[in-house]
Every structure is written in C-alpha cells, then in structure tokens.
Amino acid sequence: MTEVDNAAIRREGMSMAGMFEKYGLIVFLALLLIIAAVTSPAFLGPQNLVNVLTIAAPLGMVVIGQTFAILVRGLDLSVASLMATVAVLATAFKATDDSVIPLIFVAAIILSAMVGLLNGWLIAKRGVSPFLATLATMIILQGARFAYTGGAPISTLPPGMAWLASGRVFGIPVNLLALGILAVFAGVLLHRSRIGRQIYMVGTNPRAAFLNGTSPERITILCYVLSSVCAGIGGLFLLGYVGTVSNWVGQGYELDSIVAAVMGGVALSGGRGTIVGALLGVVVLVVISNLVLLLGFPIEMQEVIKGVIIIGAAAFYRQRLM
Amino acid sequence: MSAIVATMRRNRLLPNYMVVLLLLAIIIVAGTLISDRFLTVRNFSFLFQQMVVLGLVSLGQTFTILIGGIDLSIGALAGAITVFVASFLDWRPDLIWVAVPVAMMLGAGIGAINGTLSVFLRVHPLIVTLGMSSVIFGLTLMYRKQPGGSVPIVFEDIAYNNFMGIPITAYALVAAFAIAGVWLQRTGTGRMLYFVGGDEEAARLNGVPVRRVKILAYALAGFCTSLAALFLVAKTGVGDPRIGLPLTLQSITPVIVGGTILAGGRGGVFGTFLGVLLVSILNNLLNFAGVSSYWQWVVQGLIIIIAVGIYRSDRRGG
C-alpha cells in the first residue's frame, strides 16, 4: 500500500501540473528579484538579502507549522495570538539572567503544545470546524494575555533573547539556522517518514486513511500540535527581534502564514503541498514587501499588493490543479 | 448539559433557537440579581444603541454563512465607508442625501465583487474576502492614515435620538432583521439561499441560479456592513480606517451562537438576532459585575466553543 502511495506521489511530482506548480513560483520569484536588482542595485547585496531573510525567519517558522494544519484540511488562526502569549510567558519569569532562556523555551513549547492539543481535540474529537475552533482559542488566549498584563507592554527580558535575532553562529544568523533546523526536521517528518505519508493520506481522503489503519483523529491532533509548537518557537524568535513584549507581538502572522503557504502551493483543500514550497512562499512574500519599499510606493501599498496576490495565487493553483 | 439538550431536542421539546433563549433568560435573571440598574429601560436603550453595529454586521454575515461561505472583509469595508462618509461630508449637511446612497452602493458593490471573484475564480471565499480585506484596508490607509473628517450634527442625531423613549437605532435594527427574516423564509429568492447552502449541486440541477444567488448573498453582506458603518460614523463623528477591524470576527460569533452552521444551509436571522442579544447582554452584564473587558474576550471564545458543542451533539443525537 505504501509503495503505491509513494508511486502516486512521485508520479504527481513529475506531471505537467506538478512541474508548473513547482517552477511557476520560482520563475515568479526570479522575476521579482530581477525587478528588484534593476530598481536598486543594493537589493541583491549579501547584506540586504541576509537582512530580508532574517526578518522573515519567525514567519518561516510559523508557516512550517501552518503547513501541517492546512495539509489535514484545516487552518490555524490561533498562531499569532499564541506567539504573543508565548512572548508574555517569556516575561513572566521576570528574569534578567541568560541561564533562564532554556527554561523559557521549554515552558513556551509546553504551553504551545497544550494549545495545539486543545485545537486538535476540538477539531478531531468534537468535530468543530478548524476555523471556529482556532478562532475561539485565539480569542481566549488574547483575553487571558491581556488580563495578565493589563494591556501594558513589558520589557523584562534576559538580554540573551536579543541574540536570537542578531547573533551569529559560524557566520550564519542564529534565527536562519534555527529555521533551517526546523525546516529539515519538518521536511524529514513530512516527506520521509510514515507519519508524513499518513498526514498526506488524511488530508487527501480521511475515510481511506481510516480504512488503511491510520487514525485520522490522531494525525489531525498531531498536526495542530506541530502548528502551535512552531508558532510558539517563532514567537520567541520574533520576541528576540522586537525586544519589547507588547500584547500584539506577531499580529497579522496568522494571515501572512496562510498567504505564504497558499502561495507556496499548499492547497487549502488538504493533502497537497511541501515544506520547501511553503518556505518559498515566505521568501516571495518578504521580497514583495521589500520591493514595494524599494520602488518608493507608500508602505500601505504592501497591504493592497498582498491582497491581490493572495487571491491571484489561490486562483492560479486552483486552475492548474483542476 | 449538552446531553440533556440533545435529548430534549430529539424529542422535539426544543426548537433550534430555544437553547439561546434559555441562556438569555438565565443571563437576564442573573443580571437582575447582580445589579438593580441592569433591568431598566435606561440600560436596555443604551444596550440597543451599543448593539446596532454588531447586529447589522452579524445580519450581513448570516447571509454569507447560510450559503456556506464567509465574509472576512466586513471590518475593513466598514472602516473604509466611515472614512468615505466623514471625508465626503466634512460638516456639510446638504450632502447627506448623496453620501448615504453612495455608501450603500459602495458596500453592496464591494460585496458583489467578493461574490463574483469567489464564484468565477472558484477560490474559497475565506481567501477571496481575506485578500479583499487587505486591498480595502491598504487603499483606505493610503487615503487617510489617522482618524479624521467629520459629520454634520444632524447626522450624529441618528445615532442618539429617541422615538417614544426608545433609540431610533433599535427600531432600525429590529426592522432590518424582520425584513431579512421574512425575505429569507417567505420569498423564492430568499429560500434559494438555503437551497444553495444545503446542497449546491442539487440546487443547480433544480434550476437555481447558484452563481447569482451566491453573489447576491455577498452583496447583501456588504450592504449590511455599509449600514453598520453609517451608524458607526454617526456615533463617533469621524472616519477611522481601523474602527471596523474587530467587527470581522465579532460578526461571526452571534451567527454561530444563533444556530447557523458554518457548512451552510441551516439557521436563520432570528437565531442571529438572539445571538447578538446574548453576546451584547452578556458583555453588558460582565461590565456590571466589574469583570475587565479582557476576560470578556475569554468568555466570547468559550461561548463559541459551547455553542458549537451544543449544536454538534444535537446533530449526532438526532
């Protein structure tokens, strides 16, 4: 059975639609880069490219998680709220010493996993639609967070948190390294393991997956846990970048992460898409934002362009895959 | 609790919205016990004034959810219309007769574009309206970044005047729901919304113009949003691009609580009306009880989960 599935996946990867789907985005990205390079020679300088990617790293982490949720025919609206909640949790230790950072990470991952479990339980076991379940979680987290902070921003953070955003290991920015590790882990899980195949199966046809001996419920819950954990980690890295915890850290990431994943070819109908594609979607999204600024458009133009692109990308993949 | 409700529903002891009515009764009794200022004409006319914006956007959202869609551009659209009205009027009362119809057409038009894109590009309405929301919000910000503009005093009176001791807005809200309810239940076109939401393919085979019905639903959502925006700008007196943003998600809760299911085809505006009442009275009550507005969010999240849980168990039981 597994062999058949593999064959099907491989065949799909080599079909015309698959080729187009894969390389369409790369061609689009190349076009964007050429426009950027022509407009501003500084754009393709290594410094600017690293800067652009560094800013995108937390979003990349969230997108990896979001991909899992979308693959099982869902979506996760609670990621941004969770990012801010994790950021507030990080300040709750009131620590000024770097030795607390590992503890912060452990606590953040545990909290995120619990939120993911709640989402997954509501969706898989209670049959609540992913939209409503994650919406409810989002609002609850938001309320709890505000009730704790009273709405005021906090900046009691170990100084080492800033290193997450600006530090380098062997010349590579720490957050890009972390994103890379997360991506490899997610990629191996998704594309090289049994669980990954089960995720695609559940996303394509939950009934068939069930008859094959896979528990769609457990796979769905796992995907929402992964989504939340990735968002939680992304929240900590974003916190390192912004330095101060406002209650709105990560605002907009829920929509941006969905936009990036959809642009990267992750189908909202489930069962289709890859980690690499989703990350390419992130790159395209940040390059567009950067390009809007380089071209001297007002910054609000980013919103307009983002909106047009999300509709266009969804329509594009829809046409190709029908 | 949900098991009891399911049993009662199976035995036809509870129609669809009885659950909400029951909760409403409990809340009102609790409110009367908590504060003697709760169950007063004064408080309820204040409540209705607060409720009209939420009521109108939820009414609009009911149409899109009934056909199995959703409209996430409501908040951005409401903000854009307040900006348009306040910038266009700029104190001049003589322009009201132009501004109001144009605002309504703007709302219905943007809604129709949402519907058209979703139908013809065959893209999920979630994505289309999300994208549209970005576009509208960006364009509005390019025109006006900060709240500004102003409306004539006459216009503000709409939001605050009373007729026989009851705010005009309350009449307007009840009238809007009544018209929508009669239209949905008693006319052929209205019932087509249920048909399309229940089984699109069957509706198509029966000769229902599915595409047009869908576009109509989104146009109605946009129209209701424009009405809400008109009350909003009358109340605040300025155009603010951001003022509507929370409305997008707020508009969904009363619809779901009122028993309209996200999959479409079941529910109605009466349930939504009760949902709006429930959410508004609950928030009002939490204010009386001195609960911070932050915890009101938590309560709203819990309401969604509980409501969906009740309707789910009903479907399994029945």
Number of structural domains in chain B: 1
Mutate to test the interface with B, among A310, A319, A320, A322 (most CBs of B within 10 A): A310
A300 contacts in B (CB within 8 Å)?
Answer: 138-139, 141-142, 145
Burial of B228 (0-12, 13-18, 19+ CB in 10 A): buried
Helix axis angle, B18-34 to B269-288, nearest 10°? 20
- The DSSP letter of residue B95 is G
How far does the CA of residue B135 sit from the closest CA of chain A (Å)? 4
| Cβ count near A208 (within 10 Å) | 12
Q: What's the gap between Cα A185 and its chain centre?
A: 14
In sequence order, what are the beta bridge partners of B239? B148
Interchain CB distance below 8 Å, A140 and B132: no
| Domain-located, residue A37 | no
ipTM, two decimals, is 0.79
In the numeric block, the tokens 């882990």 are attached to A185
How far does the CA of residue B311 sit from the closest CA of chain A (Å)? 10
Interchain CB distance below 8 Å, A128 and B309: yes
DSSP-based three-state secondary structure for B239: strand
- Indicate the residue type of A269: S
Interchain CB distance below 8 Å, A127 and B312: yes
Q: What is the phi/psi pair of residue B244, to 5°?
A: -85, -15
Give strand ranges (E) for chain A: 168-169, 172-173
CB of A137 less than 8 A from some CB of B: yes
Q: For position B103, which CATH number holds?
A: 1.10.3470
The pLDDT score that the predictor gives to residue B3 is 63
| Domain-located, residue A51 | no
Per the CB < 8 A criterion, the answer to whether B252 and B59 are in contact is no
Burial of B161 (0-12, 13-18, 19+ CB in 10 A): exposed
Rounded-to-integer distance, Cα A122 and Cα A119, Å: 5
Burial of A246 (0-12, 13-18, 19+ CB in 10 A): middle
Is the confidence at residue A312, as pLDDT, over 50?
A: yes
Rounded-to-integer distance, Cα B250 and Cα A216, Å: 31
Q: Which residue has the higher pLDDT, A87 or B310?
A: A87
List all residues of chain B from 2 to 61 with a beta carbon under 8 Å from chain A: none
pLDDT tens-digit map of A239-270: 887 777 777 777 788 888 988 898 888 888 88
The pLDDT score that the predictor gives to residue A15 is 54
The pLDDT score that the predictor gives to residue A275 is 93
DSSP-based three-state secondary structure for B147: coil
The pLDDT score that the predictor gives to residue A20 is 62
B79 contacts in A (CB within 8 Å)?
Answer: none
pLDDT tens-digit map of B144-191: 888 888 888 878 877 777 777 778 888 889 999 999 999 998 998 999
| Domain-located, residue A146 | yes
Which residue on chain B is closest to A310 by alpha carbon?
B131
Give the domain range for residue A188: 57-251+266-272
In sequence order, what are the beta bridge partners of A245? A154
DSSP-based three-state secondary structure for B167: strand
List all residues of chain A from 290 to 319 with a beta carbon under 8 Å from chain B: 298, 300-311, 314-315, 318
Nearest CB to A268; choose among B124, B134, B309: B124
A147 contacts in B (CB within 8 Å)?
Answer: 292, 294-295, 298
Mutate to test the interface with A, among B64, B117, B123, B145 (most CBs of A within 10 A): B123
Is the confidence at residue B257, as pLDDT, over 70?
A: yes
Number of structural domains in chain A: 1
**DSSP codes of every residue in A83-140:** HHHHHHHHHHT---SGGGHHHHHHHHHHHHHHHHHHHHIIIIIS---HHHHHHHHHHH
Helix axis angle, A216-242 to A46-71, nearest 10°? 150
Mutate to test the interface with A, among B122, B256, B305 (most CBs of A within 10 A): B305
C-alpha distances in angstroms, B205 versus A244, B57, B66, B195? 58, 32, 19, 11
The pLDDT score that the predictor gives to residue B277 is 92
Rounded-to-integer distance, Cα A260 and Cα A281, Å: 4
pLDDT tens-digit map of B115-150: 999 999 888 888 899 899 999 999 999 988 888 888
Q: State the number of CA atoms in the 13 A half-sphere of B36 facing the CB.
A: 0
How far does the CA of residue B314 sit from the closest CA of chain A (Å)? 12
Interchain CB distance below 8 Å, B142 and A142: no
Q: What is the CA radius of gyration of chain B?
A: 20
Give the domain range for residue B158: 2-317
Nearest CB to B135; choose among A131, A132, A304: A304
pLDDT tens-digit map of A145-168: 888 888 777 777 888 788 887 778
CB of B310 less than 8 A from some CB of A: no
How far does the CA of residue A179 sit from the closest CA of chain B (Å)? 26
User: What is the average pLDDT value for chain A, to the nearest integer?
Assistant: 84
Q: Which residue has the higher pLDDT, B188 or B42?
A: B188
Cα-Cα-Cα-Cα torsion A311, B115, A130, B177, nearest 10 degrees, comes to 150
pLDDT tens-digit map of A13-39: 445 555 566 677 788 888 888 888 888
Interchain CB distance below 8 Å, B138 and A307: yes
C-alpha distances in angstroms, A301 versus A55, B77, B148, B160, B189? 19, 17, 20, 37, 39
Nearest CB to A315; choose among B121, B304, B305: B121
CA–CA–CA angle B183, B188, B191 (5° rounding)? 70
CB of B127 less than 8 A from some CB of A: yes
B297 contacts in A (CB within 8 Å)?
Answer: 139-140, 142-143, 146
Rounded-to-integer distance, Cα B148 and Cα B150, Å: 7
Interchain CB distance below 8 Å, A144 and B133: no
Is the confidence at residue B312, as pLDDT, over 70?
A: no
| Domain-located, residue A14 | no
Interchain CB distance below 8 Å, A314 and B299: no
Rounded-to-integer distance, Cα B125 and Cα B47, Å: 32
pTM for this prediction: 0.84
